[in-house]
Structure 1
Amino acid sequence: MSHDVAYPVFCSPDLALALSTARRLMEFGRCDHSEVSVYAEFRSVAEVWRVAKEIPEGWFQGQAKCEERGGVLREGLPGLVVGVQGPGLPTDPAAYEGRMPVEWGLSELPVGSIEDAFTAVIGSNVGWINWETLCWPESPEAGFHGESKHAEVTLLFNTHTRKLDVLAEDYTVLVHVRSAVFGGVHTREPYAHWLAEEVGLTVVGPGQRL
């Protein structure tokens, strides 16, 4: 089983610039079956309700409580824990106690269908846009043979890491390639540098894995 590694290639407090930069990189590898997914975490009920009004088709999922983890059948869990779309969210604030952060997402959508709407509502919450099933081109003269399985671009919102565990007040673009380490050397890292340089960017930090 293979894995990916994502290298940061751009970071800016300018959201519009970060989004356009991510799209430029994505277009370099876009193909007919490319898709986009979005994800965010909300730590207040007000933010959950706000986003539900703006993008009601998104799926919300709250955290299971300790006594529910591993001991309650799915059918016995509250709808918020199983996952509900905006119209199905609880209207009682008490229903969210012990459920934060609430996760939200949409996946496998056509490129261009959700990015602007998501960018408009994310606010100061952490999250990402991920363009996947891209096709990185080959460059035989440089020794790069192309990539499809692990060809992705991610735009991180208000965080510097894919785990969303380092808060920030800016936006980071990541380019994904296949992870391959031999003798302690990351043999695919030069490919990430090449991809970035082809669209006028440069790798600005170490690779990130999940």
Structure 2
Amino acid sequence: MSNDIAYPVFRTPDLALAMSTARRLMEFGRREYSQVSVSVELRSVAEVRRVAAELPGAWFRGEEEYGEFDGVPFQEQPPLVLGVQAPGLPAEPSAYERRLPVECSLLDQPVGSIEDAFSATTGPNIGEIRWTSLCWPDAPEAGFAGESKHAEVTLLLNTRTRDLDQPADDHTVLVHTLRAVFDDRQTREPYAHWLAEQVGLTVIGPGQRL
């Protein structure tokens, strides 16, 4: 089993510029089977309802306390905990007690199908757009073979960390590669630098793991 590591290569408060930059990097590795997934954390009922109205096909899932539903049959758990699409969201405010933040997501969509609508809807909330099933090319002059398993691009919205736990006033583009450590050194980090350089970018910070 292998894991990825993601390096920041661009940061800006300009969402349109962040999106176009992320897409430029994504297109470098895009294939016909590439996909995109989006998610955002919504911290109020008003925001859940606003986003649901703008993204009716999205799925919403609320928080649950540790062990809260131990022994409770699946079919008896609240729909908001199990996950529901926008039309199935509960109308009563009490249903959201202890369930915030609510995660809104759309997974494994065709590239280009959801990114613009999603980014326009996110507002100040923390979220991400992640392009997967890319394929990074060989870099023989740098001594690296290409890769596909961990070839991804992420655009972090209103945060700088993959944990999505620290608000920020800007957006960050990440390039993902295989995490390979030898003598406490990330041996694939130079490949991340090479990938960034191919589209006029540069690594601007340490790699991030999940």
Q: Same fold (TM over 0.5)?
A: yes
> How do 1:39-188 and structure 2 match up within 5 A?
39-66=39-66, 68-188=68-188
The structural deviation recorded for 1:64 is 1.4
CA contact (8 A) 2:139 2:145 kept: yes
Give the distance between the partners of 1:11 and 1:90, measured in 2 at CA.
Answer: 37
SS where residue 124 of structure 2 aligns?
A: coil
The structural deviation recorded for 1:65 is 3.3
TM-score (norm 1): 0.98
SS where residue 158 of structure 2 aligns?
A: strand
SS where residue 204 of structure 1 aligns?
A: coil
Paired amino acid for 2:149: K
Cα RMSD of the aligned pairs, angstroms, is: 0.9
Aligned to 2:12: 12
Between 147-156 and 60-69, the greater mean CA deviation after superposition: 60-69
Give the distance between the partners of 2:40 and 2:137, measured in 1 at CA.
Answer: 30
Paired amino acid for 2:2: S
Give the distance between the partners of 2:167 and 2:95, measured in 1 at CA.
Answer: 27
In the TM superposition, what whole-angstrom CA distance separates every residue of 1:99-129 from its partner, at most 9, and x where no partner exists? 0010110111100000000011000000000
- Residues 177, 49 of structure 1: alpha-carbon distance in 2 compared, 3 angstrom cutoff: same
Give the distance between the partners of 1:70 and 1:30, measured in 2 at CA.
Answer: 42
The structural deviation recorded for 1:142 is 1.3
% of aligned pairs identical? 66
The structural deviation recorded for 1:73 is 2.7
The structural deviation recorded for 1:69 is 4.2
Paired amino acid for 2:46: A
The structural deviation recorded for 1:13 is 0.3
In the TM superposition, what whole-angstrom CA distance separates every residue of 1:172-197 from its partner, at most 9, and x where no partner exists? 00000000001111000000000001
CA contact (8 A) 2:41 2:102 kept: yes
Give the distance between the partners of 2:56 and 2:136, measured in 1 at CA.
Answer: 34
Give the distance between the partners of 2:196 and 2:70, measured in 1 at CA.
Answer: 43
